[in-house]
Amino acid sequence: MDGHKKYYWAQPYYSCVNHGPWKKFHPTYYINNQTRGTVAKFKDKNKNTIQKTGGAYSKGKVRSPGGTYYVKPC
């Protein structure tokens, strides 16, 4: 282990809307375990897309230096 805490985005969502806002949530990794091929979006405080996940099933590193305020699971 590298000694750093790893935070995973693991919240289930069932509707295709922006969920949030959160105060600068900083997940470091995500697991996209939605319906096959579904892409989720991490967004900033202005609801601009920061990063998209790979199509489900996928996992990866979240690159949002300013923090994640919203997530849209579709």
DSSP-assigned states of every residue in 37-52: T---EEE-TT--EEEE
Query: Is pTM beyond 0.95 here?
Result: no
Compute the average pLDDT of residues 40-54.
92
pLDDT tens sequence across 15-27: 889 988 877 666 6
β-pairing verdict for 58-61 and 29-32: antiparallel
pLDDT, the chain, mean: 80
Q: Provide the residue ranges of all domains of the chain, joining segments of one domain with +.
A: 1-42
- pLDDT value at 3 more than 60: no
Asked whether 72 and 43 are in contact (CB, 8 A), the reply is yes
